[in-house]
Amino acid sequence: AQKITQTQPGMFVQEKEAVTLDCTYDTSDQSYGLFWYKQPSSGEMIFLIYQGSYDEQNATEGRYSLNFQKARKSANLVISASQLGDSAMYFCAIRSPDGNEKLTFGTGTRLTIIP
């Protein structure tokens, strides 16, 4: 069974600062994918970034980057120059390798950006 652990239930960060959201995972599979989603208060889940287990470089998408440390089973999301619109719930997820594309989610981190 796969598992995602997000140990930060909530975080408060000053606007324009960088923020790191922690994610550790547990899997016995060699091939897997890691995803980060953002959920604003309106409820929709927005895909942010993906990291494959065989990707040699850390994924980046605009202000989002993923600090992938495979040996430590860690996939932290880094948001640079935070903005008020970054206030939301953030979920880390791992994809099952069995071809059915199932995701296992963590419990999430509520990020609040302070002006």
For residue 94, give the DSSP letter: E
Residues in Cβ contact with 10 at an 8 Å cutoff, skipping those fewer than 6 apart:
109, 110, 111, 112
Least spacing, CB of residue 68 vs other proteins, in Å: 13
| Smaller CB separation from other proteins, 42 or 57 | 42
Least spacing, CB of residue 75 vs other proteins, in Å: 13
| Smaller CB separation from other proteins, 72 or 101 | 101
What is d(CA 58, CA 110) in angstroms, rounded to the nearest whole number? 23
| Smaller CB separation from other proteins, 4 or 13 | 4
Q: Determine the residue type at 33.
A: G
Count the neighbouring beta carbons within 10 Å of the beta carbon of residue 106.
Answer: 21
Footprint of other proteins (CB under 8 A) = 4, 6, 9, 31, 33, 35, 37, 42-45, 47, 50, 52, 91, 93, 97, 99-108
